[in-house]
Amino acid sequence: MQYISTRGGMQPLPYCDTLLEGLATDGGLAVPEVMPTVDGETLERWRALTYPQLATEVLGLFATDIPREDLARMTEAAYAPFPAEVVPLRAIDDDITLVGLSEGPTLAFKDMAMQFLGQVVEYALERKGSVLNILGATSGDTGSAAEHALRGKERISVFMLSPQGRMSAFQRAQMFSLDDANVHNIAVAGVFDDCQNLVKELAGDLDFKRAQHLGAVNSINLARITAQVVYYFWAWLRATDAGGWTELSFTVPSGNFGNILSGFYAKQMGLPIRRLVLAANENNVLDEFFRTGVYRPRSADQTLATSSPSMDISKASNLERFIFELVGRDPERVLGAWRDLDSQGYVDFTAELARFEEEFGIVSGTSTHADRLATIRSVYEESDDVIDPHTADGVKVAREYVESGVPMLVLETAKPEKFAETIREAIGVELDYSAELRSMLDAPQHVTEMADDASALRAFIEEHALR
């Protein structure tokens, strides 16, 4: 299995080299040269596997350059910090089942891929005898998941950008309380998109990237996308009966389009998915795109600070991977789309609009703060289950697309403890924190504040990077 760029300017690379590269050398994103496929017989054979065993099988289709015994060792290590039931499914009413993706160390779904990424990046670096300086951006949960997966690793240093004042107090504490020498938290004056633009600018400077051994940990890194594919297969196998070919739908709270892209890949691989329902918050650029066919990102000052902050994104990086498939895997058409965006501020795909649902099964909806509060309240009253605001966005939009006879699964985003203020506002409940979490919240915080300035970031990395 080899990987190519959405923009056509990167020589095909194997899995390990691709994940160390991060952003492709031509500024595009790595995608499989040919998507692997899975048939019904294989699915049935996978039904009895544990989560690490299933991860080995699914990831083995992508990481063909890694010996199977090494891959199995890494998946076992990646999911060892989780409870025995790594991804539990729980019904909240007669129509909707939550896919529990928040059982990992940082209580958010990002752990599902990041724990594996930490294992496989270290493995790839040891094979090459090299080091990697991870440059990432986070709107809330990616940063803490990455830092907890990579802290203390000798060959890896982490430079994580976050938007000043845009994360919850819990999210900040999870990141800024770490004092590991290889973790560098940088709070940028701006929004997530500004952080993401800085990452792309520095990663796009190939001389700087090579000199500083820069890599990526955001969902622009293909290892994240492939690891997330696993739980779509897991959830389907748990929600269906043996021997059947049941179609079901998934609703995915979406900001950077990475989580739902993994479901899109699972569907392309042959998993019987009827619909992929994208749930946006007030920063609903993606909802507008899938409803109208026009992609019109918003500026930083138009990006709202909401009570589901991990979705406060107006320019989703991973949409490029979907557009690559939409335009028939034609890199020139991808580049043409970005030229249109630069010249007129939007890209018009209205001619392709019917294909979004009919061919790809993608539909969408928007949820507001009032919707989140009402949804958290209704779920709590009906099932005694407390859900976080991002998952509430998912449940609200999922209810609009429930179909008779088609199971609807909503991907849980995080534990509610990460967003205690919104939970208090919704249901008047003060959540209990363990002694460990209280200690984290009270711990000194270590963070460098920085202007939205690529030169300042370059200088900081040059001073602190591993060589």
Poorest-confidence range of 44-58, 107-121, 206-220, 247-261? 206-220
pLDDT score of 241? 87
Question: Rounded to a whole number, what is the largest CA-CA distance in the chain?
Answer: 59
pLDDT score of 27? 92
- CA–CA distance, 297 with 366 (Å, rounded to integer): 16
Both structure tokens of 144: 């803490």
Strand partners, 273: 248
Work out the pLDDT band at 275, boundaries 50, 70, 90: very high
SS3 131: coil
- CA–CA distance, 242 with 338 (Å, rounded to integer): 45
SS3 90: strand
Amino acid of residue 382 = E
Q: Is 110 marked active-site?
A: yes
Closest CA to 261 of 295, 285, 227: 227
pLDDT score of 405? 93
Work out the pLDDT band at 168, boundaries 50, 70, 90: confident
CATH topology for 89-107+224-427 is Rossmann fold (3.40.50)
- CA–CA distance, 324 with 3 (Å, rounded to integer): 13
pLDDT score of 82? 97
Amino acid of residue 388 = D
Residue with tokens 């940088």: 186
Closest CA to 402 of 97, 90, 89: 97
Q: What's the mean per-residue pLDDT of the chain? A: 95
Question: What does the pLDDT look like over 423-465, one tens digit per residue?
Answer: 999 999 999 888 999 999 999 999 999 999 999 999 999 999 9
Q: Is 47 exposed, middle or buried (0-12, 13-18, 19+ CB in 10 A)?
A: middle
Q: Is the pLDDT at 332 greater than 90, yes or no?
A: yes
- CA–CA distance, 248 with 244 (Å, rounded to integer): 12
pLDDT score of 245? 81
Q: What is the pTM of this model?
A: 0.93
pLDDT score of 139? 80
3-state helix, strand, coil in the chain (%, to 5): 50, 15, 35
pLDDT score of 77? 97
Closest CA to 333 of 320, 343, 316, 318: 320
Q: Is the pLDDT at 359 greater than 90, yes or no?
A: yes
pLDDT score of 83? 95
Q: Which residues contact 367 (CB under 8 A, 6 or more apart)?
A: 279, 280, 281, 308, 375, 392, 393, 396, 397
Q: Is the pLDDT at 394 greater than 90, yes or no?
A: yes
Both structure tokens of 305: 């600070």
Work out the pLDDT band at 417, boundaries 50, 70, 90: very high
68 vs 218, higher pLDDT: 68
Q: Is the pLDDT at 218 greater than 90, yes or no?
A: no
Work out the pLDDT band at 205, boundaries 50, 70, 90: very high
Closest CA to 413 of 103, 23, 168: 103
Q: Is the pLDDT at 118 greater than 80, yes or no?
A: yes
